[in-house]
Amino acid sequence: MAKLISAAAVASLCCCALFVCLLAGGQAAEAGGGGYYYRSPLENTIRGLVEKAIKDDSRVGPALVRLLFHDCWVYGCDGSVLLDWTPYDLYNTEKNASNNIGLNGFDLIDRIKLVVGDQASCANILAYAARDAASILSNGNIDYPVPGDLKDGVRSSPAYADAELPGSTFSFAQLKANFAKKEFSVEDLVILSGAHSVGVCHDSSFADRLNPQVAADGEINPRYQFALALYVKRQRDANPTVQNNIRDMDAFSQLVAGYYAGGAKGVLDNSYYQANLDKKVLLKSDWELTQDKDAAKKLVEYRDNATDWNIDFANALARLSDLRPAKDEYPYPLESCDGSVLLDEAPADGGNTEKKAAKSIGLGGFDLIDRIKARLAAAGDDASCADILAFAARDATNILSGGRIRYAVHRGRGDGVTSSADAALPAPAASSFAELEESFAARGFGKGDLSALSGAHAVGVCHGSSFADRLRPSVAAAYQINGTYQLALVARRQKLLLQQTASDTTTTTAEMMVNNNVRDMDPAFRAASSYSGVGVDTAATGALDNSYYTANLQNMVLLKSDWELTQDKDTLARLVAYRDDAAKWSKDFGEAMERLSNLRPPVGVRLEIRKNCRLTNLSPGQAVCVVISIGCNARCLA
């Protein structure tokens, strides 16, 4: 496609609450029925490592069960909770979410990854380890199968985690809605809450429960509340932890709380339900279960039947372990916003980068990106080149449109380390409409996006090689280009040839550059082409507006791909709509540009933050830095 110049050139480059408490404490059969599922050698290796870790530190087991919930409940079971760094959000990952306070078990997952390597994804390692922890903590009463095809995600947002995970102060209605969103029922809510029979919880998650008014309102047992207050006061930490289950507290606290049931400490069993029915639970979200008749009925049922809870808890964890990321989480399998077009050379491609592609002829704006990078680096800002390009293109769009086009751009892109001339821009100027539609669809864009984004041809210039095919008389005879417009283009080419001949230089059609928009041509050219500027501000040369649609509907556009838009009835209707409604086009163009700016590389792509936008951080021939490499935390190995 044609390229824009100056500012236009830059534009074209482009839980919880439920599990908020830290759960850290202490052949085939029906799930949870005391049987033991067949495990592959890989799974047996992982189980052995989990057993040793729990033996060394009893807090690890409950931590793994909680970690699974906090992973799967956000994006799906993709290991995103394990990440310290991502190319999109840098160090601002799910680990920083308020609802994820006290998460643990990361070191064990990393150790297992080092042992099993590529035999299992980090997401699968976590799912296997949590299953084994549940089995060990329940003395073998809880067991279930785990899918072996979980993949690792590359996004990890604390804001999204806090939005998805249920909070410790949620009402029953909020808890019910939160679980329904994941297609889990009220029964599932009650079942999974039983995980609070083990582990510990931070004071900040239940501080609201220590208010005397809460006991006065009958929401917590007064003696239990007093025991909690005494326990917290005795601790030296600013945000101390308390055992989720009163069964696991020290003898003095149990005496103060009036607890005499006893029981084996640190066991994952149905003891939580007795404690909840006695109003001796830490979280408001736990007490809320007693306020719904159906949930309260289930509390009684699981208190009275440990086997039923074992089976149902195992089945619920099996379903939890199979929560998958949304199908559109990574919808763009091809090119994406990774700054690869800026590279002069790359380790895998040498100097044969996207800049050398025939379809990239005339790209500009590289020097400006370099200057911005240097200015930011001097100020201590390590913004990626891909981010700089996205922001610069957004600003250029806003300036060229006189402020009419605005859209959001967020930081967090990584810089690609590959750039191939053969892979750039799959839709050439001579594409048919079917090819254009297919190219856009491959990136999750529809006909409407194709129509809206083509409006960028209101500005910029185009090289003669991109529209030489349009100068043949047969094209005008087929009504694929306005005949007088074609003649004006041919005349302009002849004029340039004569000028160059007189100066003893040679100009070919390929070297001729013409403004994309007939509006931006000189008055003599517009008159020769019989251009009608009705409804167009012909004095607004270089403005990014809807004037492209007026030109296209007059058959006065340079590229065959532009003309092809008129050959589909749906797209033709959009051309007319955008010609007649400038505000609608500005809005739709802005929305399409925002989505374009958010195209992301697929899972597993190698990224970095370049020091020089024209070169990767490694010279050609060296090993490429792999972003996700050590353990299951994002790390970069030189």
250 annotated as belonging to a binding site for a ligand = yes
Q: What integer pLDDT is reported at residue 502 of this predicted model?
A: 63
pLDDT value at position 485?
Answer: 94
Tokens of 34: 């005391």
pLDDT at residue 406, as a whole number: 93
Lowest-pLDDT choice from 68-82, 245-259, 260-274, 420-434: 420-434
Residues 591-630 have pLDDT tens digits of 999 999 888 776 556 778 888 988 888 644 433 333 333 4
pLDDT (0 to 100) of residue 128: 97
pLDDT tens digits, residue range 424-446?
454 456 678 998 888 888 888 89
Residue 225 pLDDT > 80, yes or no?
yes
Closest residue by Cα to residue 263 from 281, 286, 245, 282: 245
CB burial readout 383-413, b (16+ within 10 A) else e: bbbbbbbbbbbbebbbbbbeebbebebebbb
Alpha helices in 554-603 (DSSP H): 560-564, 569-580, 582-597
Comparing C-alpha atoms, which of 89, 20, 638, 106 is closest to residue 284? 20
Tens of pLDDT, residues 470-501: 999 998 899 999 999 999 999 988 887 777 66
Supply the pLDDT for residue 328.
Answer: 40
pLDDT per position as a tens digit, 452-467: 999 999 999 988 888 8
Residue 78 is labelled as binding a ligand: yes
Whether 554 shows a pLDDT value over 90: the answer reads: yes
Share of the chain above pLDDT 70, in %: 82
pLDDT digits (tens, 9 = 90+) for 339-350: 677 677 666 555
70-95 burial: b if 16+ Cβ within 10 Å, else e = bbbbbbbbbbbbbbbbbbbbbebbbb
**Closest by CA position to 415, among listed 624, 594, 593, 613:** 613
Domains and CATH numbers, the chain: 17-320 (1.10.420.10), 336-430+605-638 (1.10.520.10), 444-597 (1.10.420.10)
Give the three-class secondary structure for 525: helix
* Rounded Cα gap, residues 2 and 167, in angstroms: 52
Quick one: three-class SS letters along 126-137? HHHHHHHHHHHH
Is 269 flagged in the annotation as binding? yes
Is a pLDDT exceeding 80 seen at residue 114? yes
| Beta partners for residue 615, in sequence order | 345, 612
pLDDT band at 511 (very low <50, low <70, confident <90, very high): low
Residue 26: per-residue pLDDT: 37
Query: Residue 87 — pLDDT band, cuts 50, 70, 90?
Result: low
- pLDDT, residue 629, reads 39
Which one-letter amino acid corresponds to residue 369? Answer: I
pLDDT at 636: 32
Question: Is 62 labelled as part of a ligand binding site?
Answer: no
Query: What angle, 0 to 180 degrees and rounded to 10, lies between the N-to-C axes of helices 41-56 and 106-116?
Result: 140
What confidence tier does 20 reach under pLDDT thresholds 50, 70, 90?
very low
Query: What is the reported pLDDT for 261?
Result: 86
> What are the catalytic residues?
70
pLDDT of 292 > 90? The answer is: yes
Q: Is 338 annotated as a binding residue?
A: no
User: At residue 147, does pLDDT exceed 60?
Assistant: yes
pLDDT at site 418: 77
Going by C-alpha positions, the residue among 220, 299, 236, 244 that lies closest to residue 15 is 244
Q: Which residue has the higher pLDDT, 34 or 182?
A: 182
- Our CA dihedral for 350, 356, 362, 368, rounded to 10 degrees, sits at -10
Partners of 513 in beta bridges: 463
Confidence (pLDDT) at 504: 55
pLDDT score at 88? 59
Known binding residue 76? Answer is: yes
* Per-residue model confidence (pLDDT) at position 335: 38
- Predicted pLDDT at 5: 38
CB 523 within 8 A of CB 498: no
d(CA 341, CA 353): 7
Query: Quick one: what percent of the chain has pLDDT higher than 90?
Result: 58
CB proximity list for 429: less than 8 A, separation 6 or greater: 1, 2, 359, 466, 467, 559, 560, 561
DSSP code of 345? Answer: B
Angle at Cα 54 formed by Cα 65 and Cα 130, nearest 5°?
Answer: 25
Looking at every residue in the chain, the average pLDDT score rounds to 84
Instruction: Give residue-wise pLDDT tens across range 121-131.
Output: 999 999 999 99
Average the pLDDT over 203-232 and give the result: 93
Three-class SS of 457-485: HHCCEEEHHHCHHHHCHHHHHCCCCCHHH
Determine how many CB atoms are found less than 10 A away from the CB of residue 573.
12
Residues found in the chain = 638
Closest C-alpha among 377, 374, 385, 445 to residue 414: 385
User: Binning pLDDT at 50, 70 and 90, where does residue 277 land?
Assistant: very high
Residue 638 has pLDDT above 60, yes or no: no
pLDDT class for 540, splitting at 50, 70, 90? confident
pLDDT > 80? residue 178: yes
- Give the tens place of pLDDT for each residue, 397-414: 999 999 999 998 888 788
Does pLDDT of 16 surpass 50? no
pLDDT of residue 414: 83
Which H, E and C letters describe 393-451, residue by residue? HHHHHHHHCCCCCCCCCCCCCCEECCCCCCCCCCCCCCCCHHHHHHHHHCCCCCHHHHH
Q: Is 80 annotated as a binding residue?
A: yes
196 is in an annotated binding site: yes
Residues 95-112 pLDDT 10s: 999 999 999 999 999 999
